């Protein structure tokens, strides 16, 4: 297929743009002769590309030669324009300075010698009329205080102005003082000024090291209705330690130049529309402690360079679109305390086969400081929970719901995680009983093992777990009687034992659970009467569900007075003045209703 005139013109214009950028870099140090060599090199490379394309497209030599002859004429004309432009840029350096009266020439400025350290791409963007960089640079040149700023301040003001225009700052939720010549960038609106927006980390009191300076430390613009793309010019503010741009509508990718932010400690871009991949060099930022890219459309794989992140404490990639495999080098990030990779695509472990040890499991065992491990709905443990997982004895929160544990037992080594406060196991397919070693988790407050296919009885040893607030075991295959020992769990808010195969009477000791707000016993084979002891609860907002059993007798009035809602089978076997009957689904009435 032949190269169209429009395509050739596009190539020529892009070539000219980068040649122009190169000239500006050279002009600032008096090396304009580099322009000629640069243009000739581009011309040579362009001819090679054109000939390759022509050969591939089946063009004859005469047609190709005519195309290249025309192209050479265009490039020679462009080279003349570039050289003239470079000459003018030296004059513009003078025009860009302030006069004795402090005013700036109103002639449009497009050269960039007043700011050192700009990349060729930024310089090229400054030349593109209408770009965020162009508008920001013109704003900077018009500043009546221009001659009072050092290079660091100039870079900060230019970078922040570029961010404003690149993300439609005029439509932000709040933009007080932004682009004001009378205020330092540290006095421009920041989410740190908004008491409505809470932050996890203490110590974020000011955007800057000094409120009256232009040396930005914390770029915090959460929940600001920012739209557009992230500019690479943010990397000019090398003193940044924190970037929080979460909960906006930012698109595009994280600029590669941000890997130069060597002072960066926190990078939080969650809840945007970002795409692209995770730059491997991000993990070369030796001070990085927190990286949150969750709830975006980030793709690709987690780079093996994660192992370099020696100071990384929190890695949050929830609702990701990463693909398998996860690198075993993750285990080298030994300071990691919070790892959340849940609710994303199916992921698995690299170098894990049925014949070889799952290396990442071994490596994960090295993360001895890990306190939070969240991998829900990732199906990563389809071969069962690895023993190395239970080496993470510092864990406070372990979320394995939907992690794909198929046809395997819950290991007895679960009892080693004695610091656990929350354990989520729901939506897995375990076989066997709940191990009695679970009772060793005496700090556990929340335990959810619904939809897990557990069989056997509830171990009586759970009576020692006196810090439990939630004990959720609905939708399993548990049998036997409800243990009397559950009455020792006096801190319980929620006790869910529904849709199992429990038999016998409702344990009267459940009346000792005076803090209960929800007792769910529906869908079992419980018999006998509702014990009056259930009327001892302290709350008036509690819910009782006992439908779908084989109960008989009368629901005691004291129980009606205690629970605000009761679900029950009000058929001939049961009399309940505060319940109504149900067929497929229960009906809810306030206690005391008919």
pLDDT in tens, 195-244: 544 444 445 556 776 555 668 889 999 999 999 999 999 999 999 999 99
| pLDDT of amino acid 330 | 85
Would you say residue 279 lies in a domain?
no
485 vs 439: CA distance, rounded Å: 12
Neighbouring residues of 148: CB distance < 8 A, sequence distance ≥ 6: none
How many other β-carbons are positioned within 10 Å of the β-carbon of residue 514?
13
pLDDT of residue 74: 47
Tokens coding 532: 């009056």
Give me the domain span that covers residue 77: 1-95
456 and 592 in a single domain? The answer is yes
Let me know: does 173 contact 224? Beta carbons within 8 Å. Answer: yes
Same domain, 71 and 202: no
Evaluate whether 529 touches 549 at the Cβ level (below 8 Å): no
Residue 410 lies in a domain: no
CA distance 155 to 261: 14
pLDDT averages per 10-residue partition of the chain, 594 residues: 47 46 42 38 47 49 50 45 39 36 41 78 95 97 94 95 98 94 89 56 58 77 95 95 95 95 95 94 93 91 90 87 74 88 52 39 76 78 79 93 79 96 93 96 98 96 97 98 96 98 97 95 96 87 92 88 85 60 40 38
User: What is the pLDDT at residue 35?
Assistant: 37
DSSP string, 317-357: -TT----SPBPGGGGG-TT--EEE--SSS---BTT--SSS-
**Is residue 371 situated within a structural domain?**
no
Query: Would 358 be classed as within a structural domain?
Result: no
Is 192 among the domain residues?
yes
Give the pLDDT of residue 331.
Answer: 83
Determine, yes or no, domain membership for 72.
Answer: yes
Residue 217 lies in a domain: yes
Split into its structural domains, the chain has a count of 3
- Tell me what pLDDT residue 425 has: 94
Do 42 and 175 lie in one domain? The reply is: no
Q: Does a cis peptide bond (omega within 30 degrees of 0) precede residue 351?
A: no
Tokens matching residue 574: 């049961």
- Claim to verify: residue 117 and residue 26 sit in the same structural domain: no
Q: Read off the tokens for 8.
A: 């050739």
Residue 574 lies in a domain: yes
User: Last residue of a domain, which of 259, 289, 311?
Assistant: 259
What is the spatial distance between Cα 243 and Cα 274, in angstroms, rounded to a whole number?
15
Cβ contacts of 335 within 8 Å, gap of 6 or more: 310, 311, 312, 313, 369
DSSP bridge pairs for 495: 471, 519
Angle at 136 between CA 130 and CA 137, to 5 degrees: 95
The Cα 243–Cα 42 span in angstroms is: 38
Q: How far apart are CA 582 and CA 567, in angstroms?
A: 9
Which of residues 259, 292, 316 is at a domain's end? 259
Give the torsion sign (CA, 69, 70, 76, 79): negative
At CA 282, angle to CA 276 and CA 285, rounded to 5? 165
3-state secondary structure of 549: coil
Residue 25's pLDDT is 44
- 171 and 224, same domain (yes or no): yes
Helix (H, G, I), strand (E, B), or coil: what is residue 136?
helix
Starting from the edge strand earliest in sequence, which strands make up the sheet with 501-504, in order?
455-456, 477-480, 501-504, 525-528, 550-551
CATH number of the domain at 579, please. 3.80.10.10
Domain boundary among 30, 61, 95: 95
Looking at the structure, do residues 160 and 20 belong to the same domain, yes or no? no
Residues 6+ apart with CB under 8 A from 526: 482, 502, 503, 504, 505, 506, 546, 549, 550, 551
Is the domain of 153 the same as that of 86?
no
Question: Does 234 lie in the same domain as 118?
Answer: yes
User: Using the 8-state DSSP alphabet, how is residue 299 labeled?
Assistant: B
473/552 same-domain check: yes
- Indicate whether 488 and 576 sit together in one domain: yes
85 and 165 co-located in one domain: no
Verify that 64 and 160 share a domain, yes or no: no
């Amino acid at each position: 297929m032949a190269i169209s005139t429009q395509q050739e013109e596009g190539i020529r214009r892009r070539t000219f743009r980068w040649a122009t950028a190169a000239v500006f870099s050279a002009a600032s140090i008096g090396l304009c002769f580099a322009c000629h060599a640069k243009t000739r090199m581009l011309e040579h490379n362009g001819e090679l590309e054109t000939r390759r394309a022509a050969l591939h497209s089946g063009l004859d030599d005469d047609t190709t030669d005519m195309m290249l002859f025309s192209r050479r004429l265009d490039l020679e004309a462009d080279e003349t324009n570039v050289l003239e432009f470079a000459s003018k840029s030296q004059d513009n350096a003078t025009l860009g300075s302030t006069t004795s009266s402090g005013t700036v020439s109103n002639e449009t400025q497009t050269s960039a010698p007043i700011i050192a350290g700009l990349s060729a791409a930024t310089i090229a963007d400054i030349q593109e009329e209408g770009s965020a960089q162009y508008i920001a640079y013109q704003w900077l040149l018009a500043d009546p205080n221009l001659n009072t700023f050092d290079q660091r301040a100039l870079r900060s003001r230019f970078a922040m102005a570029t961010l404003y225009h690149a993300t439609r700052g005029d439509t932000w939720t709040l933009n007080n003082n932004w682009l004001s010549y009378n205020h330092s960038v540290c006095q421009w609106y920041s989410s740190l000024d908004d008491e409505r927006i809470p932050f996890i980390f203490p110590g974020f009191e000011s955007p800057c090291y000094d409120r009256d300076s232009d040396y930005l430390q914390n770029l915090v613009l959460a929940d600001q209705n920012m739209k557009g793309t992230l500019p690479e010019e943010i990397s000019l503010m090398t003193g940044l330690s924190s970037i929080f741009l979460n909960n906006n509508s930012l698109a595009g990718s994280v600029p590669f130049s941000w890997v130069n932010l060597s002072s960066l400690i926190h990078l939080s871009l969650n809840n945007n529309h970002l795409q692209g991949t995770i730059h491997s060099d991000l993990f070369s930022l030796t001070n990085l402690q927190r990286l949150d890219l969750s709830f975006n459309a980030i793709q690709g794989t987690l780079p093996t360079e994660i192992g370099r992140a020696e100071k990384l404490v929190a890695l949050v990639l929830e609702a990701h679109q990463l693909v398998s495999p996860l690198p075993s080098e993750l285990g080298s990030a030994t300071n990691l305390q919070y790892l959340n990779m849940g609710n994303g695509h199916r992921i698995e472990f690299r170098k894990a086969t049925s014949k070889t040890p799952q290396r990442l499991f071994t490596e994960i065992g090295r993360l001895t400081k890990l306190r939070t491990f969240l991998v829900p709905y990732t199906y990563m443990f389809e071969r069962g929970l690895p023993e190395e997982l239970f080496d993470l004895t510092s864990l406070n929160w372990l979320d394995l719901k939907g992690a794909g544990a198929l046809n395997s037992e819950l290991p007895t080594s679960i009892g080693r995680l004695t610091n656990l406060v929350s354990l989520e196991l729901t939506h897995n397919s375990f076989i066997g009983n709940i191990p009695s070693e679970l009772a060793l988790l005496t700090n556990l407050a929340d335990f959810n093992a619904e939809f897990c296919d557990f069989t056997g009885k509830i171990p009586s040893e759970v009576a020692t777990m006196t810090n439990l607030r939630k004990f959720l075991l609905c939708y399993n295959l548990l049998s036997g009687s409800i243990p009397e020992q559950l009455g020792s769990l006096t801190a319980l808010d929620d006790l869910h034992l529904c849709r199992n195969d429990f038999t016998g009477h409702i344990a009267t000791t459940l009346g000792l659970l005076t803090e209960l707000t929800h007792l769910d016993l529906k869908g079992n084979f419980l018999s006998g009467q509702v014990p009056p002891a259930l009327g001892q609860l302290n709350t008036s907002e509690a819910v009782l569900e006992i439908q779908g059993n084989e109960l008989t007798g009368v629901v005691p009035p004291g129980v009606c007075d205690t629970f605000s809602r009761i679900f029950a089978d009000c058929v001939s076997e049961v009399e309940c003045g505060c319940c109504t009957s149900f067929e497929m689904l229960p009906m809810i009435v306030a206690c005391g209703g008919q």
